[in-house]
Amino acid sequence: MTLEEIDNLIELVGSIKKIKRKDGIWPIYPEGLYESLYELGGDINYMENYKLSKDIPFANKTIAELNTYFMWLVRGERFCDGLITCEIENKNLLRALKRFRELFVEEIEKDLAKWHNKIIRSGEKYENL
């Protein structure tokens, strides 16, 4: 997922005022929301890991803990229609996405600094790498 896609997802989730429901029961999520959350998840041991990380505030979660949260959310929705709705309404999903973006940007900046230092040490030009 790119930074632009993360920003678009944050904007989408932040703009949701109310989730529509089919037949008054089944939530209808905006196109791409479920798939994007699935892409952000990636923890096959999400059930065990969620128990360990669920009480950590979103502002302190690591990328791995956020991956666990996103997978818990996607898998939980499958068995409990409306779980994502609850997380949107209580703003937890928005907090998690903003934290994910923050950590994502930090990783990009670290990678850029590494490449910059490598170039400076090697004396090569950018085009030669």
Residue 121 has pLDDT above 80, yes or no: no
Residue 94 has pLDDT above 60, yes or no: yes
For the segment 73-89, the average pLDDT, to the nearest whole number, is 94
Helix (H, G, I), strand (E, B) or coil at 44: coil
Please state the domain count of the chain.
1
Q: What are phi and psi of 26, to 5 degrees?
A: -85, 125
pLDDT tens-digit readout, 16-25: 999 999 988 8
CB neighbour burial string for 83-101, b if at least 16 within 10 angstroms, e if fewer: bbbbbbeeeebbbbbbbbe
How much is the pTM?
0.85
Residue with tokens 């059930």, as numbered in its chain: 47
Q: In which band, very low, low, confident or very high, does the pLDDT at 52 lie, cut at 50, 70 and 90? A: very high
pLDDT more than 70, % of the chain: 89
Comparison of pLDDT for 104 and 112, the residue scoring more: 104
Angle subtended at Cα 121 by Cα 115 and Cα 127, rounded to the nearest 5 degrees: 55
Point out which residues pair with 22 in neighbouring strands: 26
Comparison of pLDDT for 24 and 61, the residue scoring more: 61
- Among 26, 107, 30, 96, smallest CA distance to 68 is for 96
Q: Which domain holds residue 71?
A: 3-128
